[in-house]
Amino acid sequence: MKKIPILLLLLLPLCAWSQDRLKTGPVFEGSVVSKERMIETLVKGGSIREYGLSVFRSVRFDVDEPEFQTVSSLVLDDAATALNKETEIDRGKLRYALMSFSPAKRDAEFLCFQSRTNDDGSCSVILVYMQGNTTLADLKKMFKKNTKQ
């Protein structure tokens, strides 16, 4: 009976470790761009299970050029450790990245980045972290299906 609480204590750090081990973790936590300037969405559980996901966390914000370079550099650092990745660089700027970090379908981790330059020269950025029992190919199919509607 004493083994169960000990096992739970050992498993707790693994839950927090997943997103925190990514280089982009500080972006989600507001260390790169202040939380006041972000629009954050966090969804866990039942409403996203139909997509094979258990966690969906996104942040959206506008940044100037130095902040953009910091964020995109962190994304590219994560891409360097990803098992599968797609990136698009346009005129020297990272515009799109989709990557997975787990070989197995169970509790796989994904990171998605998208940016665009605004009329005033700032950049709009969307950064999404997902975790679940799905694959990168399944997520891409789901994105294509939802954007056609």
In this prediction, residue 102 carries a pLDDT of 82
Would you state the pLDDT for residue 20? 63
Q: What is the pLDDT of residue 7?
A: 33
Q: How far apart are CA 87 and CA 39, in angstroms?
A: 24
Higher pLDDT, 13 or 123: 123
Report phi then psi at 96, rounded to 5: -155, 140
Bridge partners, residue 100, by sequence:
84, 110
Structure tokens given for 88: 């698009």
Q: What local confidence, expressed as pLDDT, does residue 19 receive?
A: 58
Tell me the pLDDT tens digit for each residue of 17-75. 355 689 999 999 999 999 999 999 999 988 899 888 999 999 999 999 999 999 999 99
Sign of the four-CA dihedral 149, 49, 45, 111:
negative
